[in-house]
Amino acid sequence: MRARPTFAQEDWLIMVTTDHGHRVPLGGHGGCGIDERGTFLLAVGSGIAAGARPIDVRQVDLAATALQHFGVAANLDGKSVRIRSTDPFDALALRTTVDETGIPATLAGWSVDRSRMPSGGMTEWRGWSFTTDEFWSRTQSGQERETRGVFAVADSDEFADKSGGSGFDSTLVSPQYTVIPGSTVRLNYVTHHRQEGAQKADVLVSFNGGADQLVRRYSADARATVESLPVTVPAGATTMTVKFRYYDASNNWYWVIDDLRVG
């Protein structure tokens, strides 16, 4: 291609990927193990940094990248590999663990309320935790644990894998956001919720440090769903905090939250 006389005026995009991984050392595929799910996406072209290994690239990004290269808009799960994540969760670093083998610390400005959690259970999953697809999937395969980059998860199923892990009630708390009294703001985020039993998943807001107000309750599956929830700011309110409470769960499923944006 570089030998083409018109190469300097052309905009080439080259991508290489695979449709699946394979079992090591046996070979073959078709299961949900981490080796079988392991894939790669190599891309060369304008606007793509050489040697970069961004955490937020997924296999579904191939089609979106190709269409974007030709100026075609598409409503797809993927995004162009030229677009870097601005999700603050993706900046988290892994820390040493107790019962598992690696999990990120809580993001600065965020907090996790574990005051209603029992004292036992798996340490890493005691309340909301930040994790990655690969790490979370390694702890238990075959449960549709698939999302992008670093995300927050409340996992009552994994928490119950150690004695004392019966019961789950934890709240993920955002930093305070500045708001304008009387305006309408939107809570934009990605949710991956799998329902089981009596578990509940509440999206809450509080203004000026006041009482929590329910915005949305999940009581059914909401898998890989992009949400945009309107919230009316009351008179006199200047700050708003967003909270995600997962409770009334005991060895049930999980709730994932990612990429929260308030605007």
Residue 234 and residue 114 share a domain? yes
CA distance 38 to 146: 12
CATH number assigned to the domain comprising residue 98: 2.60.120.260
The pair of structure tokens assigned to 173 is 């708390």
The reply to whether 214 and 128 lie within a common domain is yes
Tens digit of each residue's pLDDT (9 = 90 or more) over 147-195: 778 899 999 999 999 998 889 999 999 999 999 999 999 999 999 999 9
What angle is formed at CA 209 by the lines to CA 204 and CA 210, rounded to 5 degrees? Answer: 70
Residue 78 counted as domain residue: no
Confidence (pLDDT) at 143: 65
- What number is the average pLDDT over the span 132-139? 81
Q: Are residues 61 and 106 in the same domain?
A: no
User: What are the pLDDT digits (tens) for 58-85?
Assistant: 888 889 999 999 999 877 778 898 888 8
> Which of 69, 97, 114 marks a domain boundary?
69
With 80 as the cut, is the pLDDT of residue 24 above it?
no
- Residues 33, 129 within the same domain: no
Read off the pLDDT band of 20 (50, 70, 90).
confident
- Domain of 28? 7-69
**114 shares a domain with 40:** no
Asked if residue 102 has pLDDT above 60, the reply is no
Contact 113, 171 (CB under 8 A): yes
Tens of pLDDT along 224-248? Answer: 999 999 999 999 999 999 999 999 9
Residues 40 and 105 in one domain: no
Can you tell me whether residue 37 is helix, strand or coil?
Answer: helix
My answer on whether 135 and 226 are in the same domain is yes
Model confidence at 12: pLDDT above 90: yes
pLDDT over threshold 60, residue 46: yes
Residue 53 lies in a domain: yes
- pLDDT score of 141 more than 80: no
Is residue 94 over pLDDT 70? no
For the chain, the domain total comes to 2
CA atoms within a 13 Å half-sphere pointing along the CA-CB vector of 69: 20
60 shares its domain with 155: no
Asked whether residue 15 falls in the same domain as residue 145, the answer is no
